[in-house]
Each structure stands twice: as structure tokens, then as C-alpha cells.
Amino acid sequence: MSETTPSADDSGARTSPVALPIPSLRAPSDGAQFSTDRRGRMLQDLRISVTDRCNFRCVYCMPKEIFGRDFAFLERDELLTFEEIERIARVAVQGGVRKIRLTGGEPLLRRGIEDLIAKLAAIRRPDGEKVDIALTTNGSALALKAQALKDAGLDRVTVSVDSLDEETFQRMNDVNFPLHRVFDGLAAAHEVGLGPIKINMVVKKGLNDHDILPMARYFKQTPYVLRFIEYMDVGSTNGWRLDDVVTADEIVEQISAEMPLETLNPTAPGETASRWRYTDGQGEIGVIASVTKAFCSSCTRARISTEGRLFTCLFANAGYDLRELLRSGGTDEDLDAALRGIWANRADNYSERRASLTPGTRRKIEMSYIGG
Ligand code: SAM
Ligand code: SF4
Ligand code: SF4
């Protein structure tokens, strides 16, 4: 058997995501927490993509040349319904999931997203606690929706902001979306209490690396925690090259030279960002170094794509077809057994192996499809 599960294999190019059948060898469903995977990791976080569509065309995620007018997005009946998402989430939470993150595409484009959040907020963990619900957004509709999201039970948001420079910001979203509207959304989210709010900045060399310091200076004075993300080789359409990556070390070094930083301990196991605190006590930053410092050994995440495939790695090229299981009459027990079996068999560690793989030899799922 290969070192990785089939969902993260590197067996060659494919034109579209492949659906893996649910493993026929099913672990017994005994109502207890799911067991660890083949590398000793627990399932704790579920990321759910609620749409593959987006109103932005960020150059590192949905380049216009590929995601143009003719691009075949999923049809409505292909999407998981809110009831189907709720069922999967409930079973996963019973098995140990503590955090759910809604993503996409742009999750606020999914009509009635508040109704889904209300359903998820009603789920209780085995200890009776509410599950933590977060959402990652480009912020474009946040001003409009913040109150309704909060009322529905959303705990917090992460907002993507790649630059404070209007020209660079618009060049990166590639649809001329103005920065001030994202800031209106941020203010609204802060006002209704959707915090702690995190800001995601993807850094791409030659595009927005000149904004690292201005972003750090600005957000240091706000209640928001800025996280720098190394530009990743997700999907196969963004033309990723290692040379375009500004490394976590370079980012921290640059900021620290002006505003000294010291490391902080992680607050939770499986945390993707390494945390740094300004030595003057005025705030912190996070750095997500999935290219240069792989964190696969603590990867406790599973991802559900918009049409209901379960991916156990962000860099997979195939996922398990949970929608088929649900729509062919599968019970919650079947779902529970399927999730247990898939997780128990998982051995993904793509980022740890990236350097030894031949670039361009495998087709991967797009970020806008699987969710970041
Ligand atoms: N549309 C929402 C947004 O942009 O926040 C949610 C979905 S987006 C795919 C989730 C996160 O993935 C965003 O913070 C985005 O910046 C990040 N992302 C997308 N493509 C990336 C890439 N190639 N490398 C690193 N991060 C990426
Ligand atoms: Fe849309 Fe988010 Fe991708 Fe940008 S990063 S294109 S906002 S899904
Ligand atoms: Fe998890 Fe990312 Fe490693 Fe895949 S590459 S196992 S998603 S940390």
C-alpha cells in the first residue's frame, strides 16, 4: 500500500475531481469518538465549502483566464443542501469535531447562509457544548450580512485583505473591488461581535510583498490579528512557482527588524498559524508557512467540497462521495461508519513531501472548490 491514502495520491493528471467510493470495509459505529488516523491525528476541524462561486478573481486563486464566462460552475442540484450539510456536521461533531469553518468560493454568496449557520449552531457536542463556527470571507458582503450572521449563531469571521494599497488590492482581486467596502464589512463584523477577527494576507512575491510592513503597522493598532499566508500550490490553475513564495522566515525577519517579535505557544493543537507577539506588548501576528514549514503532523482537518465530497487533504485530487451516500438512502449510522473508516485510513502529508514530488505531474483540486 502507498504511503498516502487515495484521496491525496499523486498518480497523475486528471481533468476533474474524482469521486472515491466510500470504503466498503467499515469500522464499527459504536457512538464513541473517532479513532486517530494512520499518523495518530484526531479529526477536530471540519471545513465546509458552501459554494464554488466567487465575485472576486484573485490572481492566486481563481485566475480570470480560467474562471471566465465559460467556466462550468456546479449546478444548484449538485450542491449539498443545508439539511445534508447539517447531517454530515452533526455526525462529525458526535465523532469529535470541535470547530466548523464555512468557506468557498465566497460563502456569503450562498443564498440563505444564515439559515445554515442557525442549523449548525444548534448542534451540540457530546459534552453538551456548542460547536465553534467560523467563516472565511473576502468581506465584500460583510457589511450587509454581519448582523444576520451573528444573530444566526456565527462565532467569528476571518477576512481576506491582501493589501492596503488600493491599486494593489484591486489588481489582486482582479474585479476592481474597492478596499473601503471590505473595511466597512470589517467594522460591521467588529461592531456585532464576530470576533476575534483574523485577517488573511496571501503574500506573492513581486505583487504585494511591499505591503508586508504597511499591513503589519496598520493592523498592530487594531483588535484584528493579521495572518500572513505563504502563497501555496493549491489547484493547478494559478501558475504557482516556488520563486513566487515569500517565506515565513523572510516575513517575520522583515517585520521584526522594525517592530521586534517573539514566538508564542500555540493556543490549540492543530493550529495552522505559528504565532508571534510584538515585544512591546502591542498585539500579535500569525504566519501560515505551509510551503516552508509543513504542519502535516498536527493536521486535524477534513474538508467537505460544495457537492459533498470529503477530502482529507487540501492538496488531494479525489474525494469520498458523501452526497451519493446520503442521496441513496444512507442512514446517520452509515455516515458515521463511513467517516470513521475514511479518517482511520488517512495518512496524508502532502506538504511534507512537496519537495520530493515532480512539479506539474499531478492535478489538484482548486482552492475555490475545496475551500481554504
Ligand atoms: N472567498 C473567501 C476568502 O477569500 O476569504 C473564502 C475562500 S478562500 C479560498 C480562503 C482563503 O484561502 C483566503 O484567505 C485566500 O486568501 C486563501 N487562498 C486562496 N488561494 C490561495 C493560495 N494559492 N495560497 C494561499 N492561500 C490562498
Ligand atoms: Fe474568491 Fe476567496 Fe478565491 Fe479570492 S481567495 S478568488 S475571494 S474564493
Ligand atoms: Fe493537512 Fe495541508 Fe498536510 Fe494536507 S498538506 S495533510 S491539508 S497540513
Task: Provide the Cα torsion 88, 92, 369, 346; round to 10°.
Answer: -130
User: Residue 340's closest CA among 22, 113, 104, 58?
Assistant: 22
Query: Of 48, 61, 199, which is best to mutate to test ligand 1, by the most ligand atoms within 8 angstroms of its C-beta?
Result: 61
DSSP-derived pairing of the beta strands 309-311 and 318-321? antiparallel
As for ligand 1, residues whose beta carbon falls within 6 Å of it are 54, 60-61, 103-104, 106, 136-138, 160, 200, 202, 229, 231-232, 234, 238, 367-368, 372
Give the integer Cα–Cα distance in Å for 88 and 322. 8
Instruction: State how far the Cα of 234 lies from the Cα of 219, in Å rounded to an integer.
Output: 27
Q: Whose CA is nearest to atom 3 of ligand 3?
A: 296
Q: Whose CA is nearest to atom 8 of ligand 1?
A: 372
pLDDT at 3: 33
Q: Packing angle between helix 179-192 and helix 166-173, nearest 10 degrees?
A: 90
- Looking at residue 166, its pLDDT comes to 97
pLDDT < 70 regions, the chain: 1-17, 24-30, 269-270, 358-363, 372
Candidate of 313, 353, 354 to mutate for ligand 3, largest count of ligand atoms within 8 Å of Cβ = 313
The pLDDT tens digits for 33-88 are 888 999 999 999 999 999 999 999 999 999 999 999 999 999 999 999 999 999 99
pLDDT of residue 27: 55
Ligand 2, pocket residues at CB < 6 Å: 54, 56-58, 61-62, 104-106, 138, 160, 367-368
Ordered by where they begin, the domains of the chain are 7-370 (3.20.20.70)
**Residue to mutate (ligand 2; options 47, 110, 138, 177; most atoms within 8 A of CB):** 138
Within 10 angstroms of residue 355's Cβ, the number of other Cβ atoms is 9
What pTM was estimated for this model as a whole?
A: 0.93
